[in-house]
Structure 1
Amino acid sequence: MAPYAQVDESLRALAGKAEGFGRRAVGGLYGPVYHVTTLADDGVGSLREGCSRPDPVWIVFDVSGTLHLSSPLRVSSHKTIDGRGQRVKITGNGLQLSKCENVIVCNLEFEGGRGRDVDAVKIKPGSRHIWIDRCSLRDYDDGLIDITRESTDITISRCRFSMHNKVILIGADSKNIEDRCIKVTIHHCFFDGTRQRHPRVRFGKVHLYNNYTRNWGLYGLCASLESQILSQCNIYEAGEKKVVVKYVTEKAADTEEETCGSVRSEGDMFLSGAQPGLLPGGSAGCVFCATEFYPEWSMEPASEELMKALEAYTGWQAIPMPEETT
């Protein structure tokens, strides 16, 4: 996966290497390394203790196994949760990124979150400069990733989503007009047989490229309420359901007119009868150009080779923990 050839050369080489809107996320670059030595939910050497520290911390794991969270794990600003070198599965609950900035979450598994409103990764309110990379996420009672309430400048990359209904929500509801600030990049991800929300977007600007969405259960993307979705060189392979884009009209709290979102598709591949979807009323609204916000991104044409690569190299990876260098 070409965009990240260098990020595993040393422990902190991840910092600032995201593409897209989350590219300024440096995580715990300027803090000490914290070692998770127990899979206990709390206490000395636990992930929860490391995430709660007020100063920058680069968190690594000395143990593999299942970490059962009895309540949401609040992540404070300037943290890297780096699962390289081990295989850690988070269950029961998920991560909560609330009013924080500069957070990187890398190479973890999330599975089996239980309870009302339990998400794998909940990003709200007012969080920014976030990067979620190489995580496997499936089977939570609510969402897998929710980005709402003025959270912005976020990148989700090389993640694998499976066995789930509501995958990624961007923009809370029609009342939260402050979500017009939201900007998210999703790239090199694999959505495998999930039902809906790949993603669902209200208000925000979302750049999708080199993702593979296969055999969705309801729709591929949902463009609602002023959203702008730029879809470049993605692969949409239909199963029983053929429509890729669902357009939903809603009325923002400060307007009288109901509107849906807009999608611009460039270089996307539609397989097995996948249909882009019909826009209500016929004419598309304005969609941003990515170059307005960042100068470059690593994108290749949609192809069978890209499909195979995304099947093999998304989600948790059995890679060694890189060495710490000064």
Structure 2
Amino acid sequence: MTSTLLSLLFLLFSLLTPTLISSSPVLNPQEVVQEVNRKINGSIARPRRNLGYLSCGSGNPIDDCWRCDPNWEQNRQRLADCAIGFGKNAIGGRDGKIYVVDGDGDDDGDDDAVNPKPGTLRHAVIQDEPLWIIFARDMVIQLKEELLMNSFKTIDGRGASVHVAGGPCITIQYVTNVIIHGIHIHDCKQGGNAMVRDSPRHYGWRTVSDGDGVSIFGGSHVWVDHCSLSNCNDGLIDAIHGSTAITISNNYMTHHDKVMLLGHSDSYTQDKDMQVTIAFNHFGEGLVQRMPRCRLGYFHVVNNDYTHWEMYAIGGSANPTINCQGNRFVAPDDRFSKEVTKREDTPESEWQDWNWRSEGDLLVNGAFFTASGAGASSSYARASSLSARPSSLVGSITTGAGALSCKKGSPC
């Protein structure tokens, strides 16, 4: 191949690459909200048809897309077409090979952060090519340092009981198109002051990490679905530093203080472009606050079940837009903690103009949601043309939240 042809191919790749990893915000986020609501309602209205496969008709369009197919294991990558919301275009490793993690070197405490052994989770996630990563058997993976993911990867725990636990956990930093599905993430610790590899060609020095379950730092097109998360050093799922195009769905979160931070700081203006969908999650026992805690961006919180909090459920600062639809909020018995919402360190004269609204939410045991700003007026007009599923159905819609016990040859 001539050098001229090689140069032309490189130029073509360079021109195409930005379109593959673009993290530009959706110009009209209400249209994405409307599409989510249309899919939720469509999964009830057409319970037997979904992408040509048998559908459950549960009202959860993500699950209806794949869970009732007994042959899910024969076409795992089809899951990548099932996301909704701002992270719907996260394809992960859909267009790549299947990579089987065999557990040898993963669950025996032999994690090597610089020279990972083939067949380990760390070796899989750092590769440059798209990969759909699955697991040969049940395993508990205790990492010695952060798991730094490369772009176009799916971690798919279906068919095995996979725990990433007891050490530093998952970091999605300046990469795109990542799907994390069907694993347990818990007891995550700080890492750092160490060399860690992030690609076959590069490793570098890492400072001390926060100890999040999933840390998204400047990442885009990320989907975290059907994971069980608990008891980490800092956040369960944190997204900061310009991260966007994210969907967090069908997860079961328990036993944790600061659950989910979305936005780095009030002064980090790049987070104005952050757009996150939070759908069909169960916020359960032992949670305290930040479900989520938002800054600057646009956040659609739809059909989640909030059965426990100690301080508040949804908080924010720096004028985020929070659009809550069809959630169930069960307040704690403490009469001083009944409010769903919390504006952080901001006078009412300022936050009264922030667009926080509640539509069709079920408020139980004295729970109350303090709305502000445009409410249900023009700012949300398009989003309101279709509603989420009724909040009274949230318990059944989220009954399968968390990592599933999927068996080959059977609906999941």
- TM-score normalised by the chain length of structure 2: 0.70
SS of the residue 1:313 aligns to: coil
Output the amino acid matched with 1:201: C
* 1:275 alignment counterpart: 368
1:32 aligns with 2:107: no
In 2, the alpha carbon distance for the partners of 1:65 and 1:291 equals: 46
**Matches for 1:1-326 after TM superposition, within 5 Å:** 1=58, 2-3=60-61, 4-8=63-67, 9=72, 10-38=75-103, 39-40=106-107, 41=111, 42-91=116-165, 92-115=167-190, 117-125=210-218, 127-193=219-285, 194-239=287-332, 240=334, 241-249=337-345, 261-277=354-370, 284-285=373-374, 288-289=379-380, 299-303=388-392, 305-310=393-398, 312-320=399-407
State the identity as a percent.
Answer: 32
In 2, the alpha carbon distance for the partners of 1:290 and 1:93 equals: 43
Change in Cα spacing, 1:78 to 1:321, as seen in structure 2 (3 Å) is: farther
Q: As a proportion of its length, which structure holds more helix?
A: 2
Change in Cα spacing, 1:102 to 1:289, as seen in structure 2 (3 Å) is: farther
- Residues 250-304 of structure 1, C-alpha deviation per residue, up to 9 Å, x if partnerless? 59xxxxx965743110000000111213x6xxx5257854957xx989x31011x
On the 8 A contact 2:266/2:317 being kept in 1, the answer is: no
Measured after TM superposition, the shift of residue 43 of structure 1 is: 1.3
Output the amino acid matched with 1:145: I
Change in Cα spacing, 1:20 to 1:309, as seen in structure 2 (3 Å) is: closer
SS of the residue 1:6 aligns to: helix
- Runs of 5+ consecutive residues of structure 1 not aligned to the other structure: 252-256
Measured after TM superposition, the shift of residue 12 of structure 1 is: 0.9
- TM-score normalised by the chain length of structure 1: 0.88
In 2, the alpha carbon distance for the partners of 1:321 and 1:146 equals: 33
SS of the residue 1:165 aligns to: strand
On the 8 A contact 1:135/1:159 being kept in 2, the answer is: yes
User: Which 10-residue stretch deviates more, 13-22 or 150-159?
Assistant: 13-22
- Residues 225-259 of structure 1, C-alpha deviation per residue, up to 9 Å, x if partnerless? 110000000000011221101112459xxxxx965
- Runs of 5+ consecutive residues of structure 2 not aligned to the other structure: 1-57, 191-208
Equivalent residue pairs, number = 308
Q: As a proportion of its length, which structure holds more strand?
A: 1
Q: RMSD across aligned C-alpha pairs, in angstroms?
A: 2.3
